[in-house]
Structure 1
Amino acid sequence: MSRLSVLVVEDEDAIREMLAMVLEQSGFEASQCADAEVANLILQERMPDLIVLDWMLPGISGIEWARRLKKDQFYREIPIILLTARGEEEDKVRGLEIGADDYMTKPFSPKELVARIRAVLRRTGKIQDLAQITLGDMILDSEQHRLTIGDKQLDVSPTEFRLMQFFMTHPDKVYSRTQLLDQVWGRSVYIEERTVDVHIRRLRKILAEYGREELVQTVRGFGYRFSLIS
């Protein structure tokens, strides 16, 4: 299945690298940087599902960067968890007042942070779809690794299952082959773009057995779209 992405913005190398490792081990896709300037560049490339943000950063502080994000209509919906050595009540209130979704004081338990990340993602509706996705008469159950149309179970490979999971959670949007590679295979894996075409053809062939080959549409010059509307 496609992994939810977390951006860690933390200037202490050891903490940042430890958090990225823990997040990867917990099933997330983690990216990391040490300051807000680089974080802005990362956001322009790809929008994360959540940001873990240190309060005190070189240059623009974490709290100031968070305030700017929450005022920007393009980024304001990204959940933010603040990390800080500050423990005073007024600082916690200040962080939450600017729109942060949660707050953790250093030192903290990595396991607790992962639990808080999952809790925030549930509240914002990003995790609820991972267990079971329903679209029309199609149901994808990631826990049982089962994909059904009506009362019939489809025989799909793990890769085609992940493709369907991504498509069913992102219907009616066009994605390039590169974007699909990043989302379904992950950035750490080197695979040629034509591999996407191979799996799309296989998926269409399977869907065709149920009269649904039109669900995966080619958008010439751009990529692919999954839509119930042909």
Structure 2
Amino acid sequence: MTDKQPCVLVVDDEAPVREMLREYLGGHGFTVHVASGGESMREALATTVPDVVLLDITMPGEDGLSLARYLREHFDVGIVMVTASGEVVDRIIGLEIGADDYIANPFDPRELLARLKSVLRRTRRAPVDATPTANTATRRVRVGTCTLDLDARRLIGANGEDIPITAMEFDLLNVFISRPNRVLSRDDILDLTQNRDWNPYDRSVDIRIARLRRKIEADPSKPELIRTVRGSGYVFVPG
């Protein structure tokens, strides 16, 4: 991880919230930029690409879900979504789009800070153009026709192309490849990925596995690498 001061872009239509987060996060080591909506978010991104974007879902006009989709398609940034308390559907859609984490509003700023730091730890990558030396050889693992670069936290396709992968998807895939042919329950997955804030009884784990399958399986509707074991969980079978 680099020692560079982390940068967060706060996208929220409420000015008091933006200013509170600017002051709080700025006082805890972050460079903070703010935006009131989609247009100002794009203007901010044209100047500086942050490490992580804190994105409110419930904004007038272009909502947070469409902005998250735009971010995931165009930028390699962490995304933490702010959802209304109890809005499970919004949370699930956000995860499907590719958000790295979420927090329900109203929230404790200390919890938000912890979540931002957690996403940063998972998303900050080693420079992809660094030339490995004999003592720092890149660790790569075959995953079907893809390759997972453990040091650069990259998923590489059969033709050498980068396949976008979120921090949580990387952590999940890393858990599977390090435990081949072992059935993992949802509870195991929560423990091993250290994401105890996920609820094993909601769809968070299943959603991320479905997204991984679309990236690594030849036919995601008939998965051969990450297989479902009915009533038990999932198993990774190396291709």
Q: TM-score, normalised by structure 1?
A: 0.52
Mind listing any 5+ residue stretches in structure 2 that lack a counterpart?
134-239
Q: What secondary structure, in the 3-state scheme, does the structure 1 residue paired with 2:81 have? A: strand
Counterpart of 2:25?
Answer: 23
> Structure 2 matches for 1:181-192, cutoff 5 A?
none
CA-to-aligned-CA distance 1:71-90 (integer Å, 9 cap, x gap): 22xx1x21110012142322
- Give the % identical residues: 41
Distance 2:31 2:60 in 1: 25
Q: Which runs of 4+ in 1 moved over 2 A?
A: 88-91
* Cα shift at 1:14: 1.2
Partner residue, 2:89: 90
1:193-221 CA distances to partner (integer Å, 9 max, x unpaired)? Answer: xxxxxxxxxxxxxxxxxxxxxxxxxxxxx
Deviation digits for residues 101-132 of structure 1 (CA, Å, limit 9, x no counterpart): 11111110101101000000101136x99xxx
Paired position in structure 1 for 2:102: 103
Aligned residues: 127
Cα distance per residue 1:46-101 (max 9 Å; x no partner): 110100000022321111111122122xx1x2111001214232221111110001
What aligned pairs does 1:123-134 form with structure 2 within 5 A after superposition? 123-125=122-124
AA partner of residue 113 (structure 1): L
Letter in 2 for 1:82: M
SS in structure 2 at match of 1:59: coil
Partner of 1:226: none
AA at the equivalent of 1:69 = L
Per the alignment, residue 46 of structure 1 pairs with: 48
Amino acid paired to 1:93: I
1:77-226 alignment to 2 at 5 Å?
77-125=76-124
* Residue ranges of structure 1 left out of the alignment (5+ in a row): 130-134, 137-230
Aligned residue in 2 for 1:162: none
Residue 85 of structure 2 contacts residue 106 of structure 2 at CA under 8 Å; is this kept in 1? no
Q: Deviations over 1:133-185 (max 9, x none)?
A: xx98xxxxxxxxxxxxxxxxxxxxxxxxxxxxxxxxxxxxxxxxxxxxxxxxx
One-letter code of the match for 1:94? Answer: I
Contact 1:36 1:57 (C-alpha < 8 Å) held by counterparts:
no
Q: Which has the higher helix share?
A: 1
In the TM superposition, what is the alpha-carbon distance from 1:20 to its structure 2 partner? Answer: 1.0
User: Is residue 23–residue 114 contact of structure 1 (8 Å, CA) maintained in 2?
Assistant: yes
Name the Cα RMSD after superposition: 2.0
What is the rounded CA distance, in whole Å, between the counterparts of 2:67 and 2:122 in structure 1?
A: 23
* Cα 1:19–1:94 shift into 2, 3 Å: same
Equivalent of residue 33 in structure 1, options 32, 35, 38? 35
SS of match in other structure, 2:49: coil
Residues 58-77 of structure 1: matches in 2 within 5 Å? 58-72=60-74, 75=75, 77=76
Q: Is the contact between residue 80 and residue 100 of structure 2 (CA under 8 Å) also seen in structure 1?
A: yes
Greater CA radius of gyration, 1 or 2? 1
Given the two structures, how large is their TM-score scaled by the length of structure 2? 0.50
Indicate the SS of the match to 2:120. helix
**Aligned letter for 1:104?**
I
Q: Hey, what's the Cα distance between the residues in 2 that align with 1:125 and 1:45?
A: 20
